[in-house]
Amino acid sequence: MKLTKILVALSFLFAVSTANAGELTVTGSMQATYQSEVDGVTGNPLGMDRELKFAGSTELDNGITVSVMQDTGDSLTFGNSLITFGGVAGLVDVSIGSDGGVVDAIDDITPNAFEEANATSGTYNDIGDDASNTGITLAFAVPYLGDFKTKYIPKHDGNKNADKEASAATDSAVGSMSSYSLVTDLGALPVAGDVLGGAKLTLGYLDHDHSTVAGTDDAMDATAALTYGNGPLSLGIQYKFHNEGSSNSANSVEYKDTVIGLAYAVNDALSISYNRYESYKHDKAGSPIQETDAISIGYTMGGMTIGFQDAGTDNAAYVKDSTDDTRTVSVVVAF
């Protein structure tokens, strides 16, 4: 499977022809937040985030579309980049770069009005370690089953090579990574679709050779989410499994999480949501269940969005009776 991905990518790269003139766009956003740590020392509650993204697109003479993107970090240094060849052989989109991850993109897709339940409260070990690493991604539609994506990272060492470079021994202790996702619109299924309109099933799987040492237990993720939308109401439930990987299977640490979300759009501008996140940490210490409840409000005015979240966590960081309660206000302006 890994070799197939590489061969597919190389085959069309050698087959492309001249390109027509394209266009470049610049988009971005700035976010200001105020966060109060109810159970701890808040210090300065003000925070900032900024994003800048350059994107361009064109079309080759053979009909293949080409799009590129480059984003920046908070200090305006180069961040992630991606080049995507769309409609290869009329079937497959092939991307090369470090932007995005297949499983990372679906780490929590339960509906919310502002943020995920564990975004500001609790200490969780989430799924989807395939983002921000350079790899090859294939995306195509499977009849009846929906949209399928897979990403292969030859060496998950976190190094973003410049052109005509290899990462060498940047981190020789890790191996490759493969991730997969499938999104099925249940309402589009034959026969059963008549009664399943508005529902989607999302599946994801990731395996990571996190250590090249013989006899180690590889890391892996798996998730399944069922979401449903009907008018202003949307809801979802998601199950997640995360295996940290260890020197041997007897010492492995696993996390089994359940996430639920219920959101309601009061009107086109205002929405509210309730989200709950439960995490079971399976280890020799017998850790307690970490539980987070969050209420969010989102209000949009043109290019500006105001968000609020009140989140509370019991047994925070899997420590019995510890708490982590936060209140967050956010203002985001997009351009």
For 54-69, the pLDDT digits (tens) are: 999 999 988 899 999 9
With cut-offs at 50, 70 and 90, classify the pLDDT of residue 300: very high
* Domain range for 318: 2-334
Assigned token pair, 122: 């609790």
Higher model confidence: residue 98 or residue 39?
A: 98
Q: Which residues contact 51 (CB under 8 A, 6 or more apart)?
A: 28, 29, 30, 71, 72
pLDDT (0 to 100) of residue 8: 46
Is the pLDDT at 310 greater than 90? The verdict is: yes
Is the pLDDT at 94 greater than 60? The verdict is: yes
- Alpha carbon distance 190, 63 (integer Å): 32
Is the pLDDT at 13 greater than 60? The verdict is: no
Is the pLDDT at 12 greater than 50? The verdict is: no
Output the average pLDDT for the chain. Answer: 88
pLDDT (0 to 100) of residue 250: 58
Higher model confidence: residue 315 or residue 11?
A: 315
- Mean pLDDT value across residues 160-182: 85
Q: Which residues are paired to 23 by β-bridges?
A: 57
Q: What percent of the chain has pLDDT over 90?
A: 63
**Residue 110: HSE in the Cβ half-sphere, 13 Å Cα cutoff:** 28
Is the pLDDT at 247 greater than 70? The verdict is: no
With cut-offs at 50, 70 and 90, classify the pLDDT of residue 165: confident
Predicted TM-score of the model (pTM): 0.87
Q: 């047994």: which residue's tokens?
A: 315
Contact 59, 65 (CB under 8 A): yes
pLDDT tens-digit map of 211-238? 666 656 678 999 999 999 999 999 999 9
- Alpha carbon distance 287, 284 (integer Å): 8
- Alpha carbon distance 228, 111 (integer Å): 9
pLDDT (0 to 100) of residue 227: 98
Contact 57, 24 (CB under 8 A): no
- Alpha carbon distance 143, 181 (integer Å): 15
- Mean pLDDT value across residues 312-327: 94
Domain CATH for 36: 2.40.160.10
Nearest alpha-carbon partner for 264 in 224, 289, 231, 307: 231
- Mean pLDDT value across residues 98-102: 91
Assigned token pair, 312: 């509370």
Helix (H, G, I), strand (E, B) or coil at 246: strand
**14 CB-contact burial (10 Å; exposed 0-12 / middle 13-18 / buried 19+):** exposed
- Alpha carbon distance 156, 174 (integer Å): 6
- Mean pLDDT value across residues 243-268: 85
Q: What percent of the chain has pLDDT over 70?
A: 90
pLDDT (0 to 100) of residue 17: 44
| DSSP track, 141-178 | EETTTEEEEEEEES--S---PPTT---TTTTTT---EE
Is the pLDDT at 6 greater than 80? The verdict is: no
Count of domains forming the chain: 1
